[in-house]
Chains A and B, each alone.
Chain A
Protein backbone atom coordinates (compact mmCIF):
# COMPACT_ATOMS: atom_id res chain seq x y z
CA UNK A 1 0.00 0.00 0.00
CA UNK A 2 1.38 3.41 -0.93
CA UNK A 3 1.26 6.56 1.19
CA UNK A 4 -1.72 7.95 -0.67
CA UNK A 5 -3.67 4.77 0.09
CA UNK A 6 -2.76 4.96 3.74
CA UNK A 7 -3.77 8.60 3.96
CA UNK A 8 -7.09 7.81 2.31
CA UNK A 9 -7.76 5.04 4.83
CA UNK A 10 -6.85 7.30 7.75
CA UNK A 11 -9.25 9.93 6.47
CA UNK A 12 -12.08 7.42 6.14
CA UNK A 13 -11.69 5.77 9.54
CA UNK A 14 -14.59 6.79 11.78
CA UNK A 15 -14.05 8.58 15.08
CA UNK A 16 -14.09 6.65 18.31
CA UNK A 17 -15.87 8.10 21.32
CA UNK A 18 -13.76 7.61 24.45
CA UNK A 19 -15.78 8.17 27.59
CA UNK A 20 -12.76 9.30 29.56
CA UNK A 21 -12.59 12.51 27.52
CA UNK A 22 -16.14 13.42 28.53
CA UNK A 23 -15.44 12.49 32.12
CA UNK A 24 -12.26 14.54 32.22
CA UNK A 25 -14.29 17.52 31.14
CA UNK A 26 -17.12 16.90 33.58
CA UNK A 27 -15.03 16.00 36.62
CA UNK A 28 -13.30 19.34 37.04
CA UNK A 29 -14.37 22.40 38.95
CA UNK A 30 -14.64 25.86 37.44
CA UNK A 31 -10.99 26.59 38.26
CA UNK A 32 -9.82 23.48 36.40
CA UNK A 33 -8.96 21.39 39.46
CA UNK A 34 -10.37 17.87 39.90
CA UNK A 35 -13.64 17.65 41.79
CA UNK A 36 -13.02 14.76 44.29
CA UNK A 37 -16.67 14.54 45.31
CA UNK A 38 -17.86 14.02 41.77
CA UNK A 39 -15.08 11.48 41.18
CA UNK A 40 -16.20 9.49 44.23
CA UNK A 41 -19.78 9.43 43.00
CA UNK A 42 -18.80 8.12 39.58
CA UNK A 43 -16.28 5.43 40.47
CA UNK A 44 -17.81 2.64 38.37
CA UNK A 45 -18.15 4.86 35.33
CA UNK A 46 -14.61 6.07 35.80
CA UNK A 47 -13.19 2.55 36.07
CA UNK A 48 -14.95 1.53 32.85
CA UNK A 49 -13.71 4.64 31.08
CA UNK A 50 -10.14 3.99 32.23
CA UNK A 51 -10.33 0.37 31.04
CA UNK A 52 -11.63 1.60 27.69
CA UNK A 53 -8.79 4.10 27.41
CA UNK A 54 -6.22 1.44 28.30
CA UNK A 55 -7.61 -0.87 25.65
CA UNK A 56 -7.38 2.00 23.19
CA UNK A 57 -3.75 2.57 24.14
CA UNK A 58 -2.97 -1.12 23.57
CA UNK A 59 -4.69 -0.98 20.20
CA UNK A 60 -2.53 2.03 19.33
CA UNK A 61 0.54 -0.20 19.64
CA UNK A 62 -1.09 -2.77 17.38
CA UNK A 63 -2.02 -0.12 14.81
CA UNK A 64 1.55 1.21 14.80
CA UNK A 65 2.87 -2.35 14.27
CA UNK A 66 0.42 -2.78 11.43
CA UNK A 67 1.52 0.42 9.72
CA UNK A 68 5.22 -0.49 10.17
CA UNK A 69 4.60 -3.90 8.62
CA UNK A 70 2.92 -2.24 5.68
CA UNK A 71 5.82 0.18 5.38
CA UNK A 72 8.33 -2.69 5.17
CA UNK A 73 6.34 -4.71 2.64
Chain B
Protein backbone atom coordinates (compact mmCIF):
# COMPACT_ATOMS: atom_id res chain seq x y z
CA UNK B 1 0.00 0.00 0.00
CA UNK B 2 1.32 3.42 -0.91
CA UNK B 3 2.35 5.57 2.04
CA UNK B 4 2.86 9.31 1.84
CA UNK B 5 6.32 10.51 2.90
CA UNK B 6 6.46 11.90 6.40
CA UNK B 7 6.91 15.61 7.15
CA UNK B 8 10.60 15.17 7.99
CA UNK B 9 11.30 13.57 4.62
CA UNK B 10 9.46 16.38 2.85
CA UNK B 11 11.46 18.95 4.82
CA UNK B 12 14.73 17.15 4.01
CA UNK B 13 13.80 17.12 0.32
CA UNK B 14 13.07 20.83 0.38
CA UNK B 15 16.33 21.67 2.12
CA UNK B 16 18.36 19.57 -0.30
CA UNK B 17 16.59 20.99 -3.33
CA UNK B 18 17.38 24.56 -2.30
CA UNK B 19 21.14 24.23 -2.76
CA UNK B 20 23.79 26.88 -2.16
CA UNK B 21 23.91 29.85 -4.56
CA UNK B 22 25.74 29.53 -7.86
CA UNK B 23 28.93 31.45 -7.20
CA UNK B 24 30.00 31.69 -10.84
CA UNK B 25 26.74 33.46 -11.69
CA UNK B 26 27.10 35.67 -8.62
CA UNK B 27 30.69 36.62 -9.52
CA UNK B 28 29.82 37.22 -13.16
CA UNK B 29 26.96 39.48 -12.13
CA UNK B 30 29.04 41.43 -9.64
CA UNK B 31 32.07 41.82 -11.90
CA UNK B 32 30.28 42.64 -15.12
CA UNK B 33 26.74 43.68 -14.38
CA UNK B 34 26.51 45.47 -17.72
CA UNK B 35 27.15 42.28 -19.73
CA UNK B 36 24.70 40.39 -17.53
CA UNK B 37 22.10 43.07 -18.18
CA UNK B 38 22.76 42.74 -21.91
CA UNK B 39 22.35 38.96 -21.65
CA UNK B 40 18.98 39.37 -19.93
CA UNK B 41 17.94 41.82 -22.66
CA UNK B 42 18.89 39.30 -25.34
CA UNK B 43 16.81 36.60 -23.70
CA UNK B 44 13.81 38.91 -23.39
CA UNK B 45 14.16 40.11 -26.96
CA UNK B 46 14.67 36.80 -28.73
CA UNK B 47 13.65 33.98 -26.39
CA UNK B 48 11.37 35.45 -23.73
CA UNK B 49 9.53 32.21 -22.98
CA UNK B 50 12.83 30.46 -22.12
CA UNK B 51 14.06 33.03 -19.60
CA UNK B 52 13.26 30.91 -16.56
CA UNK B 53 14.89 27.78 -17.96
CA UNK B 54 18.02 29.63 -19.13
CA UNK B 55 18.58 31.50 -15.87
CA UNK B 56 17.93 28.38 -13.84
CA UNK B 57 21.26 26.96 -15.09
CA UNK B 58 23.89 27.29 -12.35
CA UNK B 59 26.82 28.71 -14.34
CA UNK B 60 27.03 31.45 -17.02
CA UNK B 61 28.54 29.04 -19.59
CA UNK B 62 25.55 26.69 -19.26
CA UNK B 63 23.10 29.59 -19.36
CA UNK B 64 24.64 30.78 -22.62
CA UNK B 65 24.70 27.21 -23.99
CA UNK B 66 20.99 26.77 -23.29
CA UNK B 67 20.34 30.19 -24.82
CA UNK B 68 22.31 29.16 -27.94
CA UNK B 69 20.45 25.87 -28.20
CA UNK B 70 17.01 27.52 -28.19
CA UNK B 71 18.30 30.31 -30.42
CA UNK B 72 19.40 27.77 -33.02
CA UNK B 73 15.96 26.17 -33.02
CA UNK B 74 14.31 29.47 -33.87
CA UNK B 75 16.94 31.47 -35.76
CA UNK B 76 20.37 30.05 -36.68
CA UNK B 77 23.26 28.29 -34.91
CA UNK B 78 25.79 30.28 -32.92
CA UNK B 79 29.52 29.67 -32.53
CA UNK B 80 30.30 26.22 -31.16
CA UNK B 81 32.23 27.63 -28.19
CA UNK B 82 28.97 29.13 -26.95
CA UNK B 83 26.91 26.07 -27.88
CA UNK B 84 29.29 23.71 -26.11
CA UNK B 85 29.54 25.84 -22.99
CA UNK B 86 33.20 26.82 -23.36
CA UNK B 87 32.69 30.58 -23.11
CA UNK B 88 32.44 31.66 -19.51
CA UNK B 89 31.80 35.40 -19.70
CA UNK B 90 28.49 36.92 -20.72
CA UNK B 91 30.32 39.46 -22.86
CA UNK B 92 31.54 36.60 -25.11
CA UNK B 93 27.95 36.32 -26.26
CA UNK B 94 26.68 39.84 -25.88
CA UNK B 95 29.40 41.97 -27.54
CA UNK B 96 28.28 40.84 -31.01
CA UNK B 97 26.45 37.93 -32.59
CA UNK B 98 28.89 34.98 -32.47
CA UNK B 99 28.22 33.78 -36.01
CA UNK B 100 29.64 30.66 -37.62
CA UNK B 101 31.71 31.42 -40.72
CA UNK B 102 31.00 28.92 -43.50
CA UNK B 103 33.27 30.37 -46.15
CA UNK B 104 36.04 28.45 -47.91
CA UNK B 105 39.36 29.96 -46.99
CA UNK B 106 42.57 29.25 -48.89
CA UNK B 107 43.48 26.64 -46.26
CA UNK B 108 40.11 24.95 -46.63
CA UNK B 109 40.58 24.88 -50.38
CA UNK B 110 44.06 23.35 -50.06
CA UNK B 111 42.63 20.54 -47.96
CA UNK B 112 39.94 19.62 -50.47
CA UNK B 113 42.16 17.05 -52.17
CA UNK B 114 42.16 15.07 -48.94
CA UNK B 115 38.52 15.65 -48.09
CA UNK B 116 37.71 11.97 -48.56
CA UNK B 117 34.63 12.95 -50.57
CA UNK B 118 35.01 11.76 -54.14
CA UNK B 119 32.20 14.04 -55.32
CA UNK B 120 33.78 17.14 -53.81
CA UNK B 121 37.19 16.30 -55.26
CA UNK B 122 35.77 15.65 -58.72
CA UNK B 123 33.62 18.79 -58.76
CA UNK B 124 36.60 20.86 -57.69
CA UNK B 125 38.86 19.31 -60.30
CA UNK B 126 36.45 20.34 -63.04
CA UNK B 127 36.86 23.98 -62.08
CA UNK B 128 39.77 26.34 -62.35
CA UNK B 129 41.77 26.88 -59.17
CA UNK B 130 40.80 30.33 -57.86
CA UNK B 131 44.22 30.65 -56.22
CA UNK B 132 46.14 29.60 -59.38
CA UNK B 133 48.06 27.09 -57.28
CA UNK B 134 49.51 24.30 -59.45
CA UNK B 135 50.49 22.19 -56.44
CA UNK B 136 46.90 22.09 -55.25
CA UNK B 137 45.70 21.07 -58.70
CA UNK B 138 48.27 18.27 -58.92
CA UNK B 139 47.21 16.98 -55.49
CA UNK B 140 43.60 17.16 -56.60
CA UNK B 141 44.26 15.24 -59.80
CA UNK B 142 46.03 12.53 -57.79
CA UNK B 143 43.00 12.25 -55.52
CA UNK B 144 40.61 12.11 -58.48
CA UNK B 145 42.58 9.26 -60.08
CA UNK B 146 41.29 7.11 -57.22
CA UNK B 147 37.74 7.57 -58.47
CA UNK B 148 37.86 8.10 -62.25
CA UNK B 149 40.14 6.66 -64.98
CA UNK B 150 42.97 8.92 -66.06
CA UNK B 151 41.74 8.92 -69.67
CA UNK B 152 38.56 10.66 -68.61
CA UNK B 153 40.32 13.13 -66.33
CA UNK B 154 42.68 14.06 -69.15
CA UNK B 155 39.72 15.38 -71.12
CA UNK B 156 39.22 18.17 -68.55
CA UNK B 157 40.47 21.46 -70.04
CA UNK B 158 43.87 22.62 -68.92
CA UNK B 159 43.52 24.23 -65.49
CA UNK B 160 39.82 23.37 -65.30
CA UNK B 161 36.73 25.11 -66.65
CA UNK B 162 36.81 28.88 -66.08
CA UNK B 163 34.63 29.99 -63.20
CA UNK B 164 33.48 33.02 -65.09
CA UNK B 165 30.49 32.18 -67.22
CA UNK B 166 29.81 28.92 -65.42
CA UNK B 167 26.35 30.04 -64.29
CA UNK B 168 25.44 30.86 -67.87
CA UNK B 169 26.60 27.42 -69.04
CA UNK B 170 24.70 25.52 -66.37
CA UNK B 171 21.66 27.71 -65.84
CA UNK B 172 18.51 25.65 -65.28
CA UNK B 173 20.30 22.36 -65.87
CA UNK B 174 20.57 19.52 -63.39
CA UNK B 175 24.24 20.40 -62.98
CA UNK B 176 23.58 23.98 -61.89
CA UNK B 177 24.98 23.29 -58.42
CA UNK B 178 28.47 23.01 -59.94
CA UNK B 179 28.35 26.74 -60.62
CA UNK B 180 27.29 27.29 -57.01
CA UNK B 181 30.26 25.20 -55.92
CA UNK B 182 32.46 27.50 -58.01
CA UNK B 183 30.96 30.46 -56.15
CA UNK B 184 31.49 28.77 -52.82
CA UNK B 185 35.18 27.98 -53.28
CA UNK B 186 35.79 31.57 -54.32
CA UNK B 187 33.59 32.93 -51.49
CA UNK B 188 31.50 34.77 -54.06
CA UNK B 189 28.04 33.37 -53.42
CA UNK B 190 26.48 36.61 -52.26
CA UNK B 191 25.51 34.82 -49.07
CA UNK B 192 26.74 36.30 -45.79
CA UNK B 193 27.78 33.02 -44.16
CA UNK B 194 29.27 31.35 -47.23
CA UNK B 195 31.34 34.40 -48.09
CA UNK B 196 32.73 34.76 -44.58
CA UNK B 197 35.77 32.78 -43.43
CA UNK B 198 37.31 32.59 -39.96
CA UNK B 199 40.18 34.91 -40.82
CA UNK B 200 37.88 37.69 -41.99
CA UNK B 201 35.65 37.19 -38.98
CA UNK B 202 38.43 37.37 -36.42
CA UNK B 203 40.10 40.38 -37.93
CA UNK B 204 37.38 42.66 -36.73
CA UNK B 205 34.53 41.98 -39.12
CA UNK B 206 32.41 40.60 -36.29
CA UNK B 207 32.20 44.01 -34.68
CA UNK B 208 29.70 44.95 -37.36
CA UNK B 209 27.32 42.11 -36.49
CA UNK B 210 25.10 43.59 -33.85
CA UNK B 211 22.41 42.01 -31.76
CA UNK B 212 19.58 43.90 -33.40
CA UNK B 213 16.23 42.42 -34.32
CA UNK B 214 16.87 43.38 -37.95
CA UNK B 215 20.32 41.72 -38.11
CA UNK B 216 19.01 38.54 -36.52
CA UNK B 217 16.14 38.42 -39.00
CA UNK B 218 18.46 38.96 -41.97
CA UNK B 219 21.00 36.43 -40.72
CA UNK B 220 18.26 33.85 -40.23
CA UNK B 221 17.27 34.26 -43.87
CA UNK B 222 20.93 34.11 -44.95
CA UNK B 223 21.54 30.92 -42.96
CA UNK B 224 18.54 29.22 -44.57
CA UNK B 225 19.75 30.31 -48.00
CA UNK B 226 23.24 28.96 -47.25
CA UNK B 227 21.68 25.62 -46.30
CA UNK B 228 19.76 25.52 -49.59
CA UNK B 229 22.91 26.29 -51.59
CA UNK B 230 24.87 23.61 -49.73
CA UNK B 231 22.05 21.12 -50.15
CA UNK B 232 22.13 21.58 -53.92
CA UNK B 233 25.91 21.15 -53.97
CA UNK B 234 25.84 18.04 -51.82
CA UNK B 235 23.05 16.53 -53.90
CA UNK B 236 25.27 16.90 -56.96
CA UNK B 237 28.19 15.51 -54.96
CA UNK B 238 26.19 12.44 -53.95
CA UNK B 239 24.95 11.95 -57.48
CA UNK B 240 28.57 11.89 -58.69
CA UNK B 241 29.58 9.47 -55.96
CA UNK B 242 26.93 6.94 -56.95
CA UNK B 243 28.97 6.07 -60.07
CA UNK B 244 32.00 8.38 -60.30
CA UNK B 245 33.45 7.32 -63.71
CA UNK B 246 30.11 7.34 -65.54
CA UNK B 247 28.60 10.41 -63.87
CA UNK B 248 31.80 12.44 -64.06
CA UNK B 249 32.10 11.70 -67.77
CA UNK B 250 28.45 12.64 -68.29
CA UNK B 251 29.02 15.99 -66.57
CA UNK B 252 32.29 16.55 -68.40
CA UNK B 253 30.67 15.79 -71.79
CA UNK B 254 27.90 18.22 -71.00
CA UNK B 255 30.33 20.99 -70.08
CA UNK B 256 32.55 20.37 -73.10
CA UNK B 257 29.57 20.37 -75.42
CA UNK B 258 28.16 23.56 -73.93
CA UNK B 259 31.57 25.23 -73.96
CA UNK B 260 32.28 24.23 -77.53
CA UNK B 261 28.84 25.32 -78.74
CA UNK B 262 29.09 28.61 -76.89
CA UNK B 263 32.52 29.33 -78.26
CA UNK B 264 31.57 28.36 -81.78
CA UNK B 265 28.76 30.86 -81.60
CA UNK B 266 31.07 33.55 -80.25
CA UNK B 267 33.82 32.62 -82.73
CA UNK B 268 36.42 31.77 -80.08
CA UNK B 269 39.03 29.03 -80.22
CA UNK B 270 38.03 25.65 -78.79
CA UNK B 271 39.15 24.94 -75.27
CA UNK B 272 42.49 23.09 -74.90
CA UNK B 273 42.14 19.59 -73.44
CA UNK B 274 44.44 16.72 -72.67
CA UNK B 275 46.98 17.73 -70.13
CA UNK B 276 45.24 16.45 -67.06
CA UNK B 277 46.80 13.80 -64.85
CA UNK B 278 49.16 11.39 -66.56
Contact = CB atoms under 8 A, between A and B. Distances in A.
A55 B37 CA distance: 26
B267 interface: no
Contacts of A62: 23, 27
A18 B20 contact: yes
Interface in A12-71: 12-18, 21-22, 25, 56, 59-60, 62-63, 66-67, 70
Specify the main secondary structure of chain B where it touches its partner: helix
The DSSP consensus for interface residues of chain A is helix
B24 interface: yes
A13 to B, nearest CB: 5
Given A14-B57, A16-B58, A56 B25 contact: no
A28 to B, nearest CB: 12
A10 B19 contact: no
Contact of A15 (B18, B30, B31): B18
Contacts, number: 64
B16 A63 contact: no
- Which interface residue of A16, A18, A56 has the most chain B CB atoms within 10 A? A16
Interface residues of A, number: 22
A63 B23 contact: yes
A1 interface: yes
Interface of A: 1, 6, 9-10, 12-18, 21-22, 25, 56, 59-60, 62-63, 66-67, 70
29 contacts: A1-B30, A6-B30, A9-B29, A9-B30, A9-B33, A10-B26, A12-B29, A12-B55, A13-B25, A13-B29, A14-B22, A14-B25, A14-B55, A15-B17, A15-B58, A16-B19, A16-B23, A16-B59, A18-B19, A21-B16, A21-B19, A25-B12, A56-B23, A59-B24, A60-B23, A63-B23, A66-B30, A66-B31, A70-B30
